[in-house]
Chains A and B, each alone.
Chain A
Amino acid sequence: AQSVTQLGSHVSVSEGALVLLRCNYSSSVPPYLFWYVQYPNQGLQLLLKYTTGATLVKGINGFEAEFKKSETSFHLTKPSAHMSDAAEYFCAVTPSSGNYQLIWGAGTKLIIKP
């Protein structure tokens, strides 16, 4: 069965520091990959996605992610953290068959230290 693993339920970085949120997936074929962000007391919104083509994808708010097939990873990065980035981040994949519904990671809470 396909799965998504987000390493670290909490990640804490200082304002201005690099943000790195890790996501690994298991899939027999390259999936479509997504990062969603959930700000406090809000719904989720799409941050970025990879379907095909260029493996480095850029999203909103300065975030980007790179699909690495050999490592089955789709890590999310941002060069310089801002206080407003504090949120819960979810990695998700669509499976290679079936009803194509999203398989979600458990989420990583990003904490920004002043």
Chain B
Amino acid sequence: DTAVSQTPKYLVTQMGNDKSIKCEQNLGHDTMYWYKQDSKKFLKIMFSYNNKELIINETVPNRFSPKSPDKAHLNLHINSLELGDSAVYFCASSQRGVGRATGELFFGEGSRLTVL
């Protein structure tokens, strides 16, 4: 059983289109994340939800909208796609501990978005 699964694995689309990526975790974790990894492998956190509540909302264009229907799911919708949105998007989950014990993240395999 895959612990953190995201779909689709690949998206190829035209500029201006809208797309969604779905993520599910079966680890019983209470915190989920979206990360963006660019072509140079740099990781940037975009959003984080804890028990369906948005707790991190980094400087991301408002064309990106996360939604967490329950603590096992976190989806990402992107409107009006731009060339610069091309990247690999990773979903991750963790169990939020007390204080700093939140560093152990479990990642999905990524969704590679290509905007033409």
**A residues apposed to B, CB below 8 Å:** 31-32, 34, 36, 38, 41-46, 49, 51, 88, 90, 92-96, 99-102, 104, 106-107, 109
User: Counting CB contacts under 8 A, is B56 at the interface?
Assistant: yes
26 contacts between A and B (CB under 8 A): A31-B100, A36-B105, A38-B41, A42-B109, A43-B4, A43-B92, A43-B107, A43-B109, A44-B43, A44-B90, A44-B92, A44-B107, A46-B105, A49-B104, A93-B103, A94-B100, A94-B103, A99-B48, A100-B100, A100-B102, A101-B56, A102-B102, A104-B42, A107-B41, A107-B43, A109-B41
Contact residues in B for A36 (Cβ distance below 8 Å): 105
Q: How far is the CB of A98 from chain B (nearest CB, A)?
A: 10
User: Counting CB contacts under 8 A, is B61 at the interface?
Assistant: no
User: Counting CB contacts under 8 A, is B60 at the interface?
Assistant: no
Q: How far is the CB of A5 from chain B (nearest CB, A)?
A: 13
Q: How far is the CB of A8 from chain B (nearest CB, A)?
A: 13
Contact residues in B for A51 (Cβ distance below 8 Å): 100-101
Docked-complex contact A102 and B41, CB < 8 angstroms = no
Docked-complex contact B110 and A92, CB < 8 angstroms = no
Q: How far is the CB of A80 from chain B (nearest CB, A)?
A: 25
Cross-chain contact of A101 among B102, B104, B106 (Cβ < 8 A): B102
The answer to whether residues A46 and B110 also contact, given A101-B45, A107-B41, A107-B42 and a CB cut-off of 8 A, is no
**B residues apposed to A, CB below 8 Å:** 4, 40-43, 45, 48, 55-56, 90, 92, 99-110
Cross-chain contact of A32 among B48, B56, B100 (Cβ < 8 A): B100
Contact residues in A for B110 (Cβ distance below 8 Å): 41-43
Contact residues in A for B42 (Cβ distance below 8 Å): 104, 106-107
Contact residues in B for A41 (Cβ distance below 8 Å): 109-110
Docked-complex contact A32 and B101, CB < 8 angstroms = yes
Docked-complex contact B100 and A43, CB < 8 angstroms = no
Contact residues in B for A49 (Cβ distance below 8 Å): 103-104
